[in-house]
Structure 1
Amino acid sequence: MPELTKERILALATQYDADFNPNSPEIVIERAEGATLTDTNGHTSIDLSDIIMNVGHRHPRHVAALKAALDVMITNKSGQTNAARAQLVKRLVDITPDNLDKVYLVSEGSEAIDWAVKIARRYTGKHEILAFWGGVYGRTYAASSLNGLMRRKRQFGPVMPGVLHAPYPNCYRCPFGKQPKDCDMFCIDFLDQVMQYESTDDLAAVIVEPYQGVGGMVFPPEGYLTRLQEWCEARDVLFILDEVQSSFGRTGKIFALEWENLRPDMICIGKGLGSGIAIAGVIGESRLFDALDPGELSGGNGGNFFAASSALAVLDIMEEEKLPEHALEIGTYLLSRFKQLQSEFNVIGDVRGKGLSIAMEFVKDPVTKEPYPEIVRQIQSVCYENGVYFGSRSHILDVRPPLVITQAQAEHAADVIEAALRAALNN
């Protein structure tokens, strides 16, 4: 492939790439390794933005596994099996709660969500699915219908019938105006009102993210997911966890469900499982999958040898390098640094997170909580100039690095963010 300048790459992307955002920073990443990015100008930066590359960019063992797989086979018919796929599905069952004993592998998270909805409807014979405000479940038809943000489904026409929505427990911006210390998780009790006024008494399942990533990096209070699971059990409703973003070490555990010892009926997984290679899946109870006839789950590329080999290598690296524990250690440090900044600067309305999924929410006024996206853009620009790259959602600064980020890199990144914040406030 001929070498291209940054300007030529951006011009090609603007003209031909339907998914390219011309308003994004004019940065083209040329190489990546570990938690370090290098752009076409040779400028290096610490990657605080990649929710997918949990084992880091081009981890040597991951690369070696991919090269070895290429020498054997890339794909095969998804309804059949192969050595890597057979090992992977057993491995996934082994590391999830013991009620989950079957796996269906697909290519991406939205596809996994779609299948979880189909399976729930087939098994229960009911059609309603309860999702949450602020939730982002994917971009395919069923998944986007579940999305609790208008911007994720705007003007695409009618959504899938049978979708109900309820408020997610956003304690910083509680839709009920309550405080965590005395609300007794009112949002759980409110579900009964949602059912009374919105449901046709045909609820098949509840699907929830352990934390909302795209929806603003919102973390529910401790115990909320346990209460939600109990609510489902009391009503004989399937409990589905969307762990596409939160799994494989991201929160300091292999699965976020481990924080409350949850036992969902199904889990949807993706992103970090492949660490850059497209693979996702649904892990569930046999009784649910048994509601489908043989062949009904078959898809074009799910569970192919190459992707399954990638996932096996990722799990090996996670386990042997203790990446979930490392993520918790580094995340605890970063959370502490950011909370120190919050205590000093009232433009930081909230700091929240778990493991290496952390957010700072910036506001113009701590009382009105008016969002402050301008300062986040300033901080982002200055940070990149000084070797730190992070993503943002309007007024929310996201920190979600590869789990291999070192302590030294984390300290440097925190120093750069602090300096950029101080500079922005002094201008």
Structure 2
Amino acid sequence: MVRGEGIYLYDENGRRYVDCAAGTFNLSLGYSHPAVVEAIRKQSESLIHTTSTFQVDPVSRTVRRLVEESPPNLVQVHLKVGGGSEANEGAVKMAQRATGRREVITLFRSHHGQTMMMTSMSGNAFRKAPFPILYPGSVQVPDPYCFRCFYGQDRQTCGLMCVDRIDDFLEYASGGQVAAVIVEPISGNGGNVVAPDGYLPRLREFCDRHDIVLIFDEIQTGIGRTGRMFAAQHFGVEPDAITVGKGLGGSGAQIAGILTNERLAGLPAHHHSFTYGANALAAAAAAVTLDIVARPEFLANVRATGEHIMARLRDLQRRHRAIGDVRGVGLMIGMELVQPDNAPAVALTGELAERGMGHGLVLRTSRYGHGNVLKIRPPLILTHAEADLICDRLDALLREVTA
């Protein structure tokens, strides 16, 4: 690949691809957004980096904007991290320090990062298998995956058993020292599982009842991806912390952070700070990204183009038996592929992603190729015409592969 512009990526032969994965779901404003490029250029002329001991204007502006756009209970921001894995690990440390407890509850298909702590605390055995020593103290519980409910229930009558049964895990599977629950409001790598109505408010009640810190991992869902600045706002829940990364950099600047309430504030820097955290150049990109994404018309377009793609994909579902489910919010959309008996069609999903390049589509699949969900998460600057282009190419791809 040699260059990118907007939602498009170009290879050395001049061929153009629609990037349906927005890089690694981090190019919220697409490739080389002019405002981000200008912010980086201007900042590079004065200060690229200084130790986070000092205050610098772009970092201060980013912190202020994050607090302004977050749920009202989140009033502190920690930017001294280099990526989402470090942000999630830092949020866990804050919860452990605040509660005096050590354990963490996560979901079966969760993916909270690549550090050893977050690999250990995430779901998916294949990610942990090669490592002889894992970080102790996490309990994985079934996710709210209504299409393949762990408990064999129907959402209309289940009473949200997937939350209520966490009490049993707390009583019988934990060590009695649970500090936090960390959850992706919509699973990123785990198959675009959208928390059903009522799940996250009920989880908030569960955490309050047991004095457990609730952390929303919004590395993928945050910064406008759901058509709201944060998925917490879409679901109407106030967590104790939100972690952000990926899309915060706009066109690829490396920046991440932890938004917290007052209870979690005050973690000493020597417990969790990294050399390239709070980088001035990246913060300049983040500040302008927040200004753009926060515009009501921008977020309205994310919701509208997302709804349009969902409608198109549901039409494809009626015509292609291999599509078992379509789910998403805003421009965080997943299409689950199934075999005739409804079993996961993992090989078909991988083939679609591989052959998508021939149709000018960059596609990613769930669970690092072990899953059966195609992820549709283009840059948030997507237009209706470009949404139709994606869907038309997906239709042609499906017809070719399933024939």
2:84 is equivalent to residue 109 of structure 1: yes
Q: Which residue number corresponds to residue 36 of structure 2?
A: 62
Counterparts in 2 of 1:328-367, with a 5 A limit?
Answer: 328-365=303-340
**Residue 320 of structure 1: how far off its partner (Å):** 4.0
How many pairs are equivalent? 395
Describe the superposition over 1:220-245 as per-residue Cα deviations: whole angstroms up to 9, x where unpaired. 21111111011101111111110011
Letter aligned with residue 262 of structure 2: S
Partner of 1:9: none
Give the % identical residues. 36
Give me the TM-score of the superposition, normalised by structure 1. 0.89
Partner of 1:371: 344
Partners of 1:217 and 1:296 in 2: how far apart? 33
CA distance in 2, matches of 1:36, 1:323: 19
> Does the CA-based 8 Å contact 1:136-1:214 persist in structure 2?
yes
Q: Is the 8 A contact 2:70 2:229 kept in 1?
A: no
Write out per-residue CA displacement over residues 329-368 of structure 1, whole angstroms, 9 at most, x where no aligned residue.
1110110011111122221111111111111111112xx3
RMSD: 1.5
Deviation at 1:423, TM superposition (A): 2.4
Unaligned runs of 5+ residues in structure 1 are 1-28
CA distance in 2: counterparts of 1:163 and 1:86, whole angstroms: 35
Q: How does 1:237-252 map to 2 (within 5 A)?
A: 237-252=212-227
Which AA in structure 2 matches 1:213? G
Pairing partner for 2:298 from 319, 323, 342: 323
**Given that residues 248 and 324 in structure 1 are in contact (C-alpha distance below 8 angstroms), is that contact kept between their aligned partners in structure 2?**
no
CA contact (8 A) 2:82 2:277 kept: yes
Q: In the alignment, does 2:387 pair up with 1:410?
A: yes
Amino acid at match of 1:126: R
Is the 2:320–2:398 Cα contact (8 Å) retained in structure 1? no
Q: 2:171 aligns with which of 171, 175, 196?
A: 196
> Alignment partner of 1:181: what SS?
coil
Structure 1 residue aligned with 2:360? 387
Q: Decide which of 269, 281, 286 is 2:262's aligned counterpart.
A: 286
1:75 counterpart = 2:49: yes
Q: Which deviates more, 216-225 or 374-383?
A: 374-383
Question: Which amino acid is 2:37 matched to?
Answer: V
Task: Specify the alignment match of 1:25 in structure 2.
Answer: none
Shift in Å at residue 161 of structure 1? 1.7
Contact 1:330–1:356 (Cα < 8 Å) also in 2: yes
- Structure showing greater radius of gyration is 1
Per-residue CA deviation, residues 269-309 of structure 1 (Å, 9 max, x unaligned), is: 1000013111101110223223x346544431211211111
- In the other structure, the counterpart of 2:65 is 91
Which residue does the alignment assign to 1:24? none
What does residue 140 of structure 1 align with? 115
SS in 2 for 1:180: coil
Kept after mapping to 2: 8 A contact 1:217/1:358: yes
**CA distance 1:289–1:176, change in 2 (3 Å):** same
Contact 1:79 1:298 in 2 (8 A): no
Alpha-carbon distance in structure 2 between the residues aligned to 1:177 and 1:193:
17
Distance in 1 separating the partners of 2:190 and 2:334:
12
Corresponding residue number in structure 1 for 2:373 = 396
Partner Cα separation in structure 1 for residue 265 and residue 243 of structure 2: 14
Matched-pair contact (CA < 8 Å) for 2:229–2:294: no
1:264 maps to 2:236: no
Deviations 1:95-152 (A, max 9, x none): 1122111110011000001111111111111111111100000001211111111122
Q: Which amino acid aligns with 2:126?
A: R
**In the aligned structure 1, how far is the partner of 2:116 from the partner of 2:353?**
33
